[in-house]
Amino acid sequence: MPKPRLRCSSLDQIINCPASFTLIPLVVDTDEDSEASTQGNWCHAQAARRLIEEHGATTPTLIKFPKHYEPDSIDNWVVDFYLEEFLDQVPGDWAIEVENELAYDYGRFILTGHQDALAVSPDIETAVAVDLKRGRVPVDEAGANWQILGYLVQVKRAYPSLKKIIYSIIQPLAMPDLGYERVSTVMLEGDRLEQAVPFLTGKLEEALDNPSLLQTGWKYCRYCPVANTFQCPAVNAHVQEMKLTLTKDHIAAIQQQPDLQQLGEWTVDRRMLAGLMDKAAKLLKEQIGNEPLILERDGSRIILADRNGQRRIESEPGWQKLVEIFPSEECYECIRLSPTEIEKQLAAFFKIPKTSKKNVSGQSEFKRIFGSITHQDPTTELIIS
């Protein structure tokens, strides 16, 4: 059997849910490239190109830009921020390499990982490296991030003479106001750097020794192709195990009100499952056909029905009409151009009922003023009974 190849970007998942490594080869990854990943790819390519052209960086690969993608001002700002943070830490005479894929054999597995940017001092004793995150969802900070530990170990392997490595995650769109730093850094030197390799390999060997241990967690399940096929036994257990035998322990654990831990667990589960549930409904809509689907589990009946879609107002003439009718405060309330909100504001402003069969109402005024620029496309919906 070939040695398993573990990617640094999947270490969090492999360490926490070792069985994912057993299941992933059995499924086809159905996740399409999202807009977010295209944006991220463009920012990485642009940052690499600028480091090569403006700072003499080298690369072993061809820098590829996503096709047909037009970057916006946020993308360019992300790249500027990232380069400034990286170059601030790098003296002018250090060698910089970008987009370097490293792969090393650690006995029972091969670890692979992609370094966004790495700078090494002329005496090859110190290195500074950075990992760019284009997304807004905060990641674990560098000092508690398995992916970064994997990268650190790979850099040490590539340059065994290094005595100190400083590794930063740069996430320009993280929100410091909410307590998420845009830059987090970990520094390993001396013994701690030497011990990083056996520490990580020990953790990964432990995971490989537990190929049946499944554990859900939204941080890693959301990137897992098994979750995307709706066949992960652990995720499905979250959703389906709604029948069990009440025990004394259950009764003892019931409180009059849910506590913060319970509310937190529901919130995290919602985060983990909401995207999957939306995707399942989308796939079902595409495949269900005209016959009702009866669930074996509980007899639930699902059909596809035609519905009127959401009402949508043409934005430019919609705004013109709003500013003609309302002072600024009411306009602000209608900022989403929601027909329902506009009906409410019309009713309040003109002191008329919101709905009425006989008299002028918010609804009838909406129809009179906005009717010609409001559209409602037909749509289909899954009805469950």
Contacts to ligand SF4 by CB under 6 A: 13, 17, 19-20, 23, 214-216, 220-221, 224, 226-227, 232, 234-235
Residues in the chain: 385
Nearer to ligand SF4 (CB atom), residue 170 or residue 224: 224
Strands across the sheet with 293-294, in order? 293-294, 301-313, 374-384
Six token digits for residue 277: 């549930």
Least separation in angstroms between CB 236 and ligand SF4 = 9
Q: Minimum distance between the CB of residue 221 and ligand SF4, rounded to whole angstroms?
A: 3
Side-chain-facing half-sphere of 326: CA atoms under 13 Å? 22
4 secondary structure, DSSP code: P
Q: Cα separation of 324 and 63, whole Å?
A: 52
Smallest gap, in angstroms, from Cβ of residue 36 to ligand SF4? 19
Q: How far is the CB of 165 from ligand SF4 (least distance, A)?
A: 29
Q: How far is the CB of 4 from ligand SF4 (least distance, A)?
A: 15
Neighbouring residues of 212: CB distance < 8 A, sequence distance ≥ 6: 18, 19, 22
In one letter, which amino acid is 70?
A: E
Nearer to ligand SF4, 170 or 273 (CB): 273
- Indicate the residue among 15 and 166 with the shorter CB distance to ligand SF4: 15
Q: Is 215 or 338 the residue whose CB approaches ligand SF4 more closely?
A: 215
Shortest gap between Cβ of 26 and ligand SF4 (angstroms)? 10
Phi, psi of 127 (to 5 degrees): -135, 145
The span from the CA of 196 to the CA of 185, in Å, is 16
Name the pairing type of β-strands 164-170 and 293-294. unpaired
CB of 29 or CB of 54, closer to ligand SF4: 29
Which of 235, 322 has the CB closer to ligand SF4?
A: 235
Contact status, residue 151 vs residue 112, Cβ threshold 8 Å: no
Nearer to ligand SF4, 13 or 39 (CB): 13
CB of 14 to ligand SF4, least distance (A): 9
- Give backbone dihedrals phi and psi of 342, rounded to 5 degrees, phi first: -65, -40
- Kindly state the smallest distance separating residue 360's Cβ from ligand SF4, in Å: 55
The smaller minimum CB distance to ligand SF4, of residues 218 and 319, is found at 218
The dihedral built from the CA positions of residue 22, 26, 31 and 33, taken in this order, carries a sign that is positive
Between 39 and 216, whose beta carbon lies closer to ligand SF4? Answer: 216
The string of DSSP letters for 319-334 reads HHHHHHHS-HHHHHHT
* Beta strand 95-105 pairing with 5-7: unpaired
Least distance CB 240 / ligand SF4 (angstroms): 14
DSSP 251: H
- Contact at 8 Å (CB) between 35 and 228? no
Could you give the CA distance from residue 129 to residue 141 in angstroms, rounded to a whole number?
15
Name every residue whose Cβ is closer than 8 Å to that of residue 344 and which is 6 or more positions away in sequence. 354, 362
Pick left, alpha or beta for residue 5 (phi over 0 → left; psi -120 to 50 → alpha; otherwise beta): beta
Q: CA 126 to CA 159: how far, in whole Å?
A: 10
How near is the Cβ of 226 to ligand SF4 at its closest, in Å?
A: 4
Q: Which is nearer to ligand SF4, 211 or 258 (CB)?
A: 211
